[in-house]
Amino acid sequence: MVNSKRIKILFKHCMDKLFSLIGLIILSPLFIIIGIILKFQGEDVFFLQKRTGHLGKEFKVFKFTTMPKGSEKLGLITTPNDPRTTRLGKFLRKTSLNEVPQLINILKGDMSFVGPRPLVQIGTYLNDDEIVKYYRMRPGVTGLASLFYYEEDELLGNVENSYEYYEKVIIPKKQQLEKEYYENWSLFLDLKIIFITIKKVIYDRYK
């Protein structure tokens, strides 16, 4: 007999693909407009970064470019006043529009709408046993850790040593939240996270 949780995960994967396709069709005019502006400014449309995802498979996550080429070599942590961020990039990050191209990753099967955030490097803050559990779920555009640190840029901008704070405070907390998500996963939890994310992006930010 097929495990009911596996059926639910398969259903989730199918719904991810369906709604990502619908989203890409609806938002295609927005993609074109932003793409034209970025090309006019001499930038690549997409910023591609290697991440580790489902079952430890490496993939490239899609985001709209918010910084000039080569900026990631100066560090992966960004703050609200990061001088590397372009004017358009600040708008894209503020509105979370820079994350929209991840619909492509969802359609490809690399990601899900909800799940643990894809790690830049496998084992960054997980031990071997946790890595196995972590990668049973497709990484998500949003999730428990993403919601908890929704204003991470602003938080890091208010501490003296952002890199040290990220490593010693944020990473352990994210680890705890991602474990809680895996242990308590359900379709209802995913729907709850999606609604809270929409509320934060649309309502809380502009109220």
CA dist., res. 149 & res. 171, Å (int) = 11
User: Taking 70 as the threshold, does the pLDDT of residue 124 lie above it?
Assistant: no
What lies within 8 Å, CB to CB, of 87 at 6+ separation is none
Tokens 């993939």, residue? 59
User: Taking 70 as the threshold, does the pLDDT of residue 52 lie above it?
Assistant: yes
Backbone angles phi, psi at 119, to 5 degrees: -75, 145
The four Cα atoms 54, 59, 65, 67 give a dihedral, to 10 degrees, of: 100
- Bridge partners of 46, per DSSP, are 64
pLDDT value, residue 1:
42
When the pLDDT of each residue in the chain is averaged and rounded to a whole number, the result is 82
Structure tokens at 91: 């708008």
- Specify the amino acid at residue 118: P
User: Taking 50 as the threshold, does the pLDDT of residue 87 lie above it?
Assistant: yes
Predicted TM-score (pTM) of the model is 0.83
Per-residue pLDDT tens digits for 32-46 = 999 999 999 889 999
